[in-house]
Chain A
Amino acid sequence: MTPVYMAAGDIPTPHIEYGRLAPVLIVLGAACVGVLVEALAPRAQRYGLQVLVSVVGLVAAFAWTIALGIGDQPHHVAAMGAVGVDGPTLFIQGTILVLALMSMLLIAERRHEDSPFTAQASTVPGSPEERESLVAGLVQTEIYPLVLFAVGGMLIFPAANDLLTMFVALEVMSLPLYLLCGLARRRRLLSQEAAVKYFLLGAFSSAFFLYGTAMLYGFAGSVRLSEIAAAISKQGGDEPLLLAGVALLSVGLLFKMGAAPFQAWKPDVYQGAPTALTALMASCTLVAAVGGVLRVFYVGLETLRWDWRPMMWAVAILTMLVGAIVAITQTDVKRMLAYSSIAHGGFLLTGVIATNKAGLSSTLFYLAAYGFTTVGAFAVITMVRDAGGEAGHLSRWAGLGKRQPLVAGTFAFFLLAFAGIPLTSGFTGKFAVFQAAMAGGAMPLVIVGVVSSAIAAFFYVRVIVLMFFSEPLADGPTVSFSPATATAVAVGAFVTLVLGVIPAPALHLAQSAANQLFVR
């Protein structure tokens, strides 16, 4: 297959479309600049420089993505076929970049305390060294390049046109996240526990992904999605190698999405990680993971859809129900949102299962809508603070609506959007996804979806009730305002409202992105 080159030094230069890869390259470049800043700049200036580099990098990458979306047509694969830069990918990449920018506002927040991240990661929690580092006001500015590395991985992941690139991207996006999870400033033990769990289970799922890749290679003789698709249509789908490969690959992908029964890590990690990072994971990582799922199932395995559909049906149903039901009993607000995120993963899967254009465009729209709402909601969580950091326990939120009606009202609005109440983006998104699933003949799935969103509404409303219909605690949490976080909240709320009231333009964008489908 691969030509054998006998003479030394005659490897032809690979053809790389730098223009099409630019958003990824810019983000990764900014990360490298960040590393240099860390090495060369004086300590006092690092924070400012790092934030500047990160924001400029993300904005520039986003601008380039838009330029690609407008000008670069028709789309095709780039970098020797390793990535496909096409409508859906650009939409997903753009979404990731904007959401990352919003999360960056939270990550760089310094008003609440010196940083949402630990002062010095190497100190033992509770040790005198830790106290010293806190008093000295230290900040670990390395987190900015790490975040950018993760975002870079997220940008490659949904674009990857072969399973090998996808695997590498998966690791590039996961590894920094494993690390950052353990760097919370408060409740560090919880945070470190979360990091270990995320790392171990993530490694475990990577093994599944890799095994699946190997088996698919065994079946098709290639890891390129298009060639796998071609092999499936040529040989039929009877091979055990193919089916086992698809199954194991799905496990790896579904783990990243947090679909049941691979959801166990999500609540622990979302709860333990610094909230700013949880916002990044809940929005950008989910978008990237679903983007990868879309590409694998729409490009590589589309011809096999009659085989994987029943399995995905089961996973989607289980995911929606587990997310919605278990969330009811949660007492920690981040944990609750983690289960809610699991349930939303299930809703997204119903759009994936449709395997038609409507499914693709509605999933894209849902991703964007959900991402903005999520970042906004987590941003609100960072604002509601006790003496010991964020007020995570739900009982601390009792009566917040009476003391801080604006903040509580905004949070209630986000919750209503999660619940899919009309005039929020959640309603439009769910409506679009469900109708696509319906058109794809997945009526029972839609019914389960509607039932579980009805169940889910219960616990969202419970929080609203708690905030507005309970007496405020005497020593209740305070709300810490800051321009950056408030901007993130405002953008989240604004987009949630706009996508709920006049969703047509965004739906059009998603639709025109989906129109060209994925390139092969």
Chain B
Amino acid sequence: MTAADLVIVLLGVVAVGAGVLVVATRQLVHAALWLVVSFGALAGSYLVLTAEFVAWVQVLIYVGAVVVLLLFGIMLTRAPIGRSEDLDSGNRIVALVVAVATAGVLVTTLVRGFRSAYVPIKDRVGSGSSHTLGGSLFQTWVLPFEALSVLLLAALIGAIVLSRTDIGGAGPEPEEEEPEPRRRPAAPRGTVARRLGTARRRATPDDEDTIVLSRVDEEI
């Protein structure tokens, strides 16, 4: 066992352990922070595998952007920050079974698939560099790369559609703008009853209709 092997095993243990803590902790913010650790360990593994560019991308995007986004989300939606019993689901056992089963299948498959595929890291030095990746990206993969830019543009437009409040020209009091994304379940308390009312109102005529239709069914 070389030093690299040892490091990668240790990083793996850290990544998996942090991953377990992400789902096990009772505090939302802690979960997000454990995620940082897990991602970081993963980035370390990439480094050991000489894929330095991927490693830094991992740090920048996942540790830097995604987790920060998550934390902002927690902050903006005024989610409870301390210990919360709500974070525990009643379906713990099922979730555990599913997770273990998935992990089992994947690990088995990967181990069986790659058992003989052994490549010494020394031969691969440079293959994970930004230069190589860039060359590949702008030569072989230029079309998917451009398509990705279209995807980002579409996502941008979508975000504007969902959040823009001044569509009618004069924006109606920007400070009353609701901070949370529209589709989040947690809505301001005042509107709850009203919205429930909407749902009920729609349900009632449907019930009557069902009776009419079941009559049709009986005829058949």
Contact = CB atoms under 8 A, between A and B. Distances in A.
Contact of B147 (A123, A165, A215): A165
A175 B154 contact: yes
Given A43-B169, A80-B139, A80-B143, 14 more contacts: A5-B132, A6-B131, A79-B142, A82-B140, A121-B164, A126-B194, A126-B198, A132-B168, A140-B161, A165-B144, A176-B154, A331-B209, A395-B210, A395-B212
A2 B183 contact: no
B47 to A, nearest CB: 19
A240 interface: yes
B111 to A, nearest CB: 9
Contact of A133 (B141, B168, B178, B199): B168
B69 to A, nearest CB: 15
B154 A146 contact: yes
B175 interface: no
Interface stretch (B16-24, B31-39, B50-58, B102-110): B102-110
Interface string A146-163: 100110110010000010
A279 interface: no
A35 B157 contact: yes
Contacts of B199: 189
B77 interface: no
Contact of B142 (A80, A126, A169): A80
Interface residues of B, number: 58
Contacts of A32: 153
A286 interface: no
Interface string A13-51: 010100001000000100110010010000100000000
B166 to A, nearest CB: 9
Interface centre among A81, A189, A244, A465 (most CB of B within 10 A): A244
Nearest to B112: A240
Contacts of A152: 150
A377 B191 CA distance: 37
Given A142-B160, A175-B151, A240-B112, A331 B210 contact: yes
B139 A11 contact: yes
Interface in B117-158: 126-127, 131-132, 134-136, 138-144, 147-148, 150-151, 153-155, 157-158
A4 B199 CA distance: 61
A195 interface: yes
A227 to B, nearest CB: 12
Given A81-B140, A82-B141, A393-B206, A129 B172 contact: yes
Given A81-B140, A82-B143, A165-B143, A124 B150 contact: no
B162 A121 contact: yes
Interface string A441-467: 000000000000000001000100110
Interface centre among A11, A172, A218 (most CB of B within 10 A): A172
A4 B198 contact: no
Interface string B165-198: 1011100100000100011000100010011001
Closest 3 CB pairs of A and B: A241-B113, A82-B143, A395-B209
A79 B158 CA distance: 28
Nearest to B142: A14
A396 B157 contact: no
A240 B139 contact: no
Contact of A136 (B142, B168, B220): B168
Contacts, number: 189
Contacts of B132: 2, 4-5
B163 interface: yes
A398 interface: yes
A241 B109 contact: yes
Contact of A145 (B138, B157, B167, B172): B157
A110 B184 CA distance: 30
A152 B148 CA distance: 12
A182 to B, nearest CB: 7
Contact of A2 (B136, B142, B153, B191): B136
B105 A244 contact: yes
B63 to A, nearest CB: 20
Nearest to A21: B143
B172 A14 contact: no
B92 interface: no
Contacts of B131: 4-6, 8
A440 interface: no
B209 A187 contact: no
Nearest to B147: A168
15 contacts: A2-B135, A4-B135, A8-B131, A12-B139, A82-B141, A120-B164, A120-B168, A121-B161, A122-B165, A124-B178, A168-B151, A172-B150, A175-B155, A396-B209, A462-B216
B158 A146 contact: yes
B113 A394 contact: no
B211 to A, nearest CB: 9
Contacts of A183: 161
A331 B211 CA distance: 11
Given A28-B150, A189-B198, A241-B110, A122 B163 contact: yes
A182 B216 contact: no
A272 to B, nearest CB: 12
B182 A146 contact: no
A166 B105 CA distance: 25
A424 interface: no
Nearest to B136: A2
A237 interface: no
A204 B154 CA distance: 20
Interface in A288-318: none
Contacts of A167: 144
B132 to A, nearest CB: 6
B125 to A, nearest CB: 10
A179 B169 contact: no
A183 B134 CA distance: 39
Contacts of A470: 216
A127 B151 CA distance: 32
A182 B141 contact: no
B127 A4 contact: yes
B134 to A, nearest CB: 7
Nearest to A164: B144
Nearest to A193: B183
Interface centre among A5, A12, A150, A458 (most CB of B within 10 A): A5
A125 interface: yes
A38 B131 CA distance: 38
Interface string A110-137: 0000000001111111110100110010
A138 interface: yes
Contacts of A192: 182-183
A61 to B, nearest CB: 15
B136 to A, nearest CB: 5
A119 B164 CA distance: 11
